[in-house]
Amino acid sequence: MSRFLQQLINGLSIGSVYALMAVGYSLVYSIMNFSNFAHGGVIMLGAYFGYYYLTKLGLPFFVAFIASALTTGILAVVIERGAYKPLRERKAPFLYFIISAMGASIFLENIVIATIGPTFKSYPEILSRTPIQLGSVTLGRIDLTMFIISAICLALLVFFIDFTKMGKAIQATSYSVKASALMGINTDLVIIVVFALGGFFAGIAGVLFGMKYTVYPQIGIITNKSFIAAVFGGLGSLPGAVVGSILLGIIETMTSGYLSSNYRDLIAFVLLIAILVFRPSGLMGKITEDKA
């Protein structure tokens, strides 16, 4: 039983990492309707910003944390202006956005390798690595902190989207860009805000990731998992992204723990296909109807 509990905690902790990454991704998807593959690159840079703010500038943790989230927020908007806006203006199909995003992600990863170098960096110890013991089950301090920070950020995001004017505009735009524009919503501004928010979350995810593990140019590999998690939950749905991520984390952990760690990803994939066969829009995705 204690082994099961331990694995459940492991799964929740892995899932919450996926969730933080998936939220920014899902947010952009809900408006733009394309998979922003550059999101992984922005998360990676967030981790690097956090590292440099902490070590080179010597900022206190929370200041560095917010500062890197703001920096990546700006970065995400810059990427949008550079790589996506020209496509939007041409009304290019979503494939072009994806390819452009991939170009951006290759660019970001390799510019870090070329300038900062391929060696990874480790964050200074902010929280003690000694875990909290609950009977025979151990709970990492960083995991707990990460869980709490993620919950607070998500709550703030939900508040922002549900109760502010801008949030309402985002909702409307996600429903239909054209109709919102006709209703007088500045959709260009909405898109900037959405990218800034996505980037802000990428920064948070990056710093927490770096703190928990380490910082290196290929963090993007993990974000593929968060894409899959977002699909599990249903693309474009924020609660879906969170639920899908936690679920994927737990499925992976239980597979490694009880079935086979060699075939973990294969089993996760079979489950993904099974979910999609029965629910083609994921667990909580918006059901899109074809417009004739």
Partner 1 sequence: MYKKTLALLLVSLMILTMAFTGCSKPETETAAPAEEIIKVGWMGSLTGDQAVWGQCELDTVKMLFEEINAKGGVLGKQLEVIGYDTKGDPQEAVNVAKRLTGQDKVVAILGPNASGNAIPIAPVLEQAKVPDIATVATNPKVTVLDGKVKPYNFRVCFIDPYQGAVAAGYAIEVLGFKKAAILYDVADDYSQGLTQFFEEFFVSKGGTIVAKEAFKFGDVDFRPQLSKIKDAAPEVLFLPIFFKEAALIANQARELGITVPLMGGDGLPSEQLFTMAKDAVQGTYIVNHVDYDDPEVQDLKNRYKTKYNKELELNGYLVHDAVVVFVDALERAGVADSVKITEALETTNVKGVTGQITISKDTHNPEGKDAAIVKIEGDRYVFQQKYSAK
Partner 2 sequence: MDLYYIQGILMLAGINLMSVLGLSLLTGFTGMFSFGHAGFMAIGGYTSAMMTVNYGWPFIPALLMGALTAALMSALIGKLTLNLKGDYFCIATLGFGEAIRLVLDNVQYFGGARGWPGIPNYTNFTNVLIINIIAIIILANIIRSRQGRNMIAVREEELASQIVGINVFKYKLISLMISAAYAGIAGGLMAHYMTFLQPKMFSLVKSTELTIIVIFGGLGSISGSVLGALVLTSLPEILRSFSNWRLVIYGLSVIVIMISRPEGLMGGYELTPSSMKKLFTRMRSKKGNLPKSMEGGDTL
* Interface ranges with partner 1 (CB under 8 A): 3, 6-7, 10-11, 13-14, 17, 110, 113, 117-120, 122, 129-131, 138, 140, 209, 213-214, 216-218, 221-222, 252-254, 256-257, 261-262, 264-265
CA 231 to chain centre: 12
96 forms part of the interface with partner 2 (CB under 8 A): yes
Q: Which CB sits closer to partner 1, 180 or 253?
A: 253
Identify the helix (H) or strand (E) that includes residue 226.
helix 220-233
33 forms part of the interface with partner 2 (CB under 8 A): yes
Q: Which CB sits closer to partner 2, 3 or 93?
A: 93
Give the nearest distance from C-beta 4 to partner 1 in angstroms. 10
Among 5, 78, 103, 189, binds partner 2 (CB under 8 A): 103
Q: Which CB sits closer to partner 1, 110 or 186?
A: 110
Distance between start and end Cα atoms, the chain? 54
235 phi, psi to nearest 5 deg: -65, 140
Do the beta carbons of residue 12 and residue 249 sit within 8 Å?
A: yes
CA-CA-CA-CA torsion sign (18, 22, 48, 154): negative
Size of the site for partner 2 (CB under 8 A): 57
Stretch that binds partner 2, among 56-64, 96-104, 124-132, 136-144 (CB under 8 A): 96-104
Q: Which does 24 bind (CB under 5 to 8 A by kind): partner 1, partner 2, none?
A: none
Residues in contact with partner 2 by the rule CB under 8 A: 29, 32-35, 82-83, 86-88, 90-96, 98-100, 102-111, 113-114, 177-178, 224, 227-228, 231, 235, 262-263, 265-266, 268-270, 272-273, 276-277, 280-282, 288, 290-292
